[in-house]
Amino acid sequence: MTDLVEAAGLTRRFDPRLSIGDRIAALFGAPVETRPVRAVTDVSFAIRQGETLGLVGESGCGKSTLGRMVAGILPPTSGGIRLDGAPVMERGRKTTTRIQTVFQDPFASLNPRRRIGATISEGPIAHGLITRVAAPAFVADWLARVGLDPAVAQRFPHQFSGGQRQRVAIARALAMQPDILVCDEPVASLDVSIQAQILNLFLDLRQALGLTCLFISHDLSVVRHVSDRVAIMYLGRIVEVGPAAEVYGAPRHPYTQGLLDSVPKLRLDANAVTFRPIAGELPSPLSPPPGCAFHPRCPRATELCRRERPALAPRPGGIEVACHHA
Amino acid sequence: MTAPLLEVTDLRTHFFTRAGVAKAVDGVSFSLAPGEILGLVGESGSGKTVTGFSLLGLVDPPGRIAGGSIRFDGRELVGLPAEEMRALRGQRIAMVFQDPQATLNPVLTIGTQMTLALQAHGRVSGRAAAERAGAMLTRVGIPEAASRLSNYPHEFSGGMRQRVAIAMALLNGPDLIVADEPTTALDVSIQAQILAEMKTLAKESGTALVWISHDLATVSSLADRVLVMYAGRIVESGPVGEVLRAPLHPYTRGLLDSLPAMAEPGQRLRQIQGAAPSLLALPPGCPFAPRCARASDICATPPPAVERAGRLALCHHPLDAAA
């Protein structure tokens, strides 16, 4: 299998936008936040042709920022993403239509004043994939493929339920005939029974179209279900990445272990369950701890962890882990 | 068997809208013993939140309790004068909401808010109130509690804010806490901390808990008994382990099968077809029939209550019988 997408040394900082007044005030010691937020720091990974890479992490870990950089929506501060060897962004602009995105909130990602047929056909027409004349048939075809009645093309987003809107969002992304689909929490806002329908649709279309995917979610069981490989993020860095069965079956990094232990499991026997939560809270990306970012919460932390940041290093089983003690 | 703390009988909370009457809660009955944790599970629009709000008398027009009874510690809450309900609320029955950001007053320090909550239900000096508030914050796992009383809600993280909300609910030592999706907005690792603490707190203080959630896994690890709601009705109830291991109602089965954790990775999930019906236009008979694989002609008539040793299901074709 060849690497279709390659990310090398991706870093994204968000600098606070300070007015002249703020800067002067900061100079005189006023409490103005001048530190940058390090959302993603030095992340490298590859997505192979035809595979789905799951990206898991808690809020604020930088997974959405990473997804937006892969999708070519947000330029990285440094580092870059290559698709088949060619950069995805050049001088802050996306250079390809081969990557498309499905966002979390189908209420926010669809233009409320536009009929969904126009929403789906806009991109393909603008990029010359279809002609305006062919658009209605094209839209009808895509609506049918995502399980909607082709007659709904004339409706507005508010006339659909959450699950149906997410189907529209998927149709819009796939209508651009991408090779890579970035899904940022595509089922997080849906009910369980609707979530299952959308996941099934995703699995069907992925197979039918041979898609390569980056699937971002905070839901460990959803990611396990759809991913071939999984990357776990903590405070802007990947701490563990490898085949899904390995990462879930025998997690090496203490954070991955803690995360998997924290997930409430469906308890089918009468035994009482004991939670083994990770102690403490996520540190602020404004002032990440020195050394390993997880050390303040880690039961195995030593002096070495406080001093030196472990690099992502390969382990048996095709897995890579960033930990001194794993 | 101790006397129930809470006994809800045939509760009907309806919303009288211009488009028609939405029967958000339609004939819900259950009881709760002191110290018991009851999980209330359902998807959006199933009526689980409205049931919780009804218990606290928080249903606003155009909604109102159209029938049924809520007996709390021998006292009828339906039709109770607003003054008396106010005295009860926050004192003996407390609520924790989904969004702690919206629960806490952003312009008052949490110390002030907790003091007000204490003084609303008794004569407490400012100093004594601060002491009790600080002790309660420590109990829900907030470090350096005494010094944090002077903080405003925005100075806390989401998980810490929810802990503050839980501490406020516990402040007057209530007999019953209704918690509406209290961990849904939180991260997995923070959710696990709060679940572990809720379980201990309920056990230690003997407080009964109604835990409203859409997440079967959370409920299964926390609750003693579970109620599954669909379209305003409880379609199945019983001890949580038994219900999830061998559900009687096809909807419960469908919900479980929808979970990715129940399937082999990469395989299609066994989804429930269609979407929940509008509460304004419920089908006659069983509301789940249009989505149910076991439905037959008889399902157009109201489903009977099937009883099996402490369990209950509203279904013509329960899963332990031949289809």
Q: Which residue of A has its CA nearest to B185?
A: A59
Classify residue A105: in a domain, yes or no.
no
Distance from CA of A277 to the nearest CA of B (A): 5
A188 and A43 within one domain: yes
Question: pTM of the full predicted structure?
Answer: 0.86
Classify residue A308: in a domain, yes or no.
yes
B275 contact residues in A (CB cutoff 8 A)? 161, 163, 194
A249 contact residues in B (CB cutoff 8 A)? none
B189 and B133 within one domain: no
> Which CA distances in Å does B86 have to B59, B63, B74?
13, 19, 17
pLDDT number for residue B276: 85
Instruction: Please compute, for residue A193, the number of CA atoms within 13 A of its CA located in the half-sphere on the CB side.
Output: 21
Find the helix or strand (DSSP H, E) in which B54 lies.
Answer: helix B48-55
A226 and A169 within one domain: no
Classify residue A251: in a domain, yes or no.
yes
A251 and A117 within one domain: no
A165 and A269 within one domain: no
Residue A23 CB-density burial (10 A; 0-12 exposed, 13-18 middle, 19+ buried):
exposed
Mutual angle of helices A192-209 and B250-258, in 10-degree steps:
50
Non-local CB neighbours of A35 within 8 Å, separated by 6+ positions: A16, A286, A287
A234 and A196 within one domain: yes
B307 and B197 within one domain: yes
B307 and B231 within one domain: yes
Residue B319 identity (one-letter amino acid): L
Q: Does B209 touch chain A (CB under 8 A)?
A: no
Classify residue B265: in a domain, yes or no.
yes
pLDDT number for residue A1: 60
Closest CB from B259, B263, B269 relative to A266: B259
A272 and A132 within one domain: no
pLDDT number for residue A170: 94
A256 and A189 within one domain: yes
- DSSP letters, B231-251, are TTEEEEEEEHHHHHHS-SSHH
A293 and A311 within one domain: yes
Q: Does B96 touch chain A (CB under 8 A)?
A: no
A128 and A9 within one domain: no
Find the helix or strand (DSSP H, E) in which B141 lies.
Answer: none
B139 and B43 within one domain: no
Instruction: Please compute, for residue B80, the number of CA atoms within 13 A of its CA located in the half-sphere on the CB side.
Output: 22
The CATH number linked to A312 is 3.40.50.300
- The verdict on a CB contact (< 8 Å) between A221 and B259 is yes
Report the domain count for chain A.
2
Whether residue B302 has a cis bond before it, omega within 30° of 0? no
Distance from CA of A127 to the nearest CA of B (A): 33
A209 and A161 within one domain: no
Classify residue B116: in a domain, yes or no.
yes
pLDDT number for residue A121: 95
The CATH number linked to B292 is 3.40.50.300
A289 and A224 within one domain: yes
Classify residue A146: in a domain, yes or no.
yes
Classify residue A62: in a domain, yes or no.
yes
Distance CA B135, CA B95 (A): 20
B263 contact residues in A (CB cutoff 8 A)? 225
Tell me, letter by letter, the H, E, C secondary structure of chain A. Answer: CCEEEEEEEEEEEECCCCCHHHHHHHHCCCCCCCCCEEEEEEEEEEEECCCEEEEECCCCCCHHHHHHHHCCCCCCCEEEEEECCEECEECCEECCCCEEEECCCCCCCCCCCCCHHHHHHHHHHHCCCCCCCCHHHHHHHHHHHCCCCHHHHHCCHHHCCHHHHHHHHHHHHHCCCCCEEEEECCCCCCCHHHHHHHHHHHHHHHHHHCCEEEEEECCHHHHHHHCCEEEEEECCEEEEEEEHHHHHHCCCCHHHHHHHHHCCCCCCCCCCCCCCCCCCCCCCCCCCCCCCCCHHHCCCCCHHHHHCCCCCEEECCCEEECCCCC
| Domain-ending residue, one of B173, B192, B214 | B173
Report the domain count for chain B.
2
Q: Which residue of A has its CA nearest to B278?
A: A161
B210 and B139 within one domain: no
Distance from CA of A273 to the nearest CA of B (A): 6
| Domain-ending residue, one of B173, B201, B227 | B173
Mutual angle of helices A135-145 and A162-174, in 10-degree steps:
120
B187 contact residues in A (CB cutoff 8 A)? 58-59, 218, 282
pLDDT number for residue A182: 95
A204 contact residues in B (CB cutoff 8 A)? 268
Find the helix or strand (DSSP H, E) in which B45 lies.
Answer: none
Contact B247, B312 (CB under 8 A): no
Classify residue A31: in a domain, yes or no.
no
Question: In which domain, by residue range, is A172 found?
Answer: 110-177
B82 and B49 within one domain: yes
Contact A47, A212 (CB under 8 A): yes
| Domain-ending residue, one of A177, A204, A222 | A177
Distance from CA of B253 to the nearest CA of A (A): 11
Contact B226, B238 (CB under 8 A): yes
Per-residue pLDDT of chain B (323 residues; tens, 9 = 90+): 568 999 999 999 999 989 889 999 999 999 999 989 999 999 888 999 999 999 999 998 899 999 999 999 999 999 999 999 999 998 999 999 888 778 899 999 999 999 999 998 888 898 999 999 999 898 888 888 888 999 999 888 888 888 899 899 988 889 999 999 888 877 888 888 888 888 888 888 889 999 999 888 889 889 999 999 999 999 999 999 899 999 999 999 999 999 988 888 889 898 888 888 888 888 889 999 999 999 999 999 999 999 988 899 999 999 987 55
Classify residue A200: in a domain, yes or no.
yes
B139 and B70 within one domain: no
B154 and B119 within one domain: yes
| Domain-ending residue, one of B173, B203, B232 | B173
A243 and A184 within one domain: yes
Tokens of A191: 């009910």
Question: In which domain, by residue range, is B19 found?
Answer: 6-92+175-314
Contact B314, B249 (CB under 8 A): yes
Helix and strand numbers (H, E) in chain B are 11, 12
B44 contact residues in A (CB cutoff 8 A)? 191
B275 and B163 within one domain: no
User: CB atoms < 10 A from the CB of A155, how many?
Assistant: 16
pLDDT number for residue B176: 94
- The verdict on a CB contact (< 8 Å) between B192 and A261 is yes
Classify residue B323: in a domain, yes or no.
no
Phi, psi for B94 (deg, rounded to 5):
-125, 160
Classify residue A23: in a domain, yes or no.
no
Distance from CA of B246 to the nearest CA of A (A): 9
B166 and B264 within one domain: no
Q: Does B294 touch chain A (CB under 8 A)?
A: no
| Domain-ending residue, one of A153, A177, A201 | A177
Per-residue pLDDT of chain A (326 residues; tens, 9 = 90+): 678 999 999 999 988 888 888 888 888 887 777 788 889 999 999 999 999 999 998 888 899 999 999 999 999 999 999 998 888 888 878 888 899 999 888 888 899 999 999 999 999 999 999 999 999 999 999 999 999 999 899 999 988 888 899 999 999 999 999 999 999 999 888 888 889 999 999 999 999 999 999 999 989 999 999 999 999 999 999 999 999 999 999 999 999 999 998 888 777 665 555 667 788 877 888 888 899 999 999 999 999 999 999 999 999 889 999 999 98
Pairing of strands B176-180, B208-213: parallel
| Domain-ending residue, one of A177, A193, A213 | A177
Tokens of A79: 């580092």
- The verdict on a CB contact (< 8 Å) between B260 and A224 is yes
B82 and B109 within one domain: no
Distance CA B46, CA B61 (A): 19
B179 and B290 within one domain: yes
Q: Quote the ipTM score.
A: 0.81
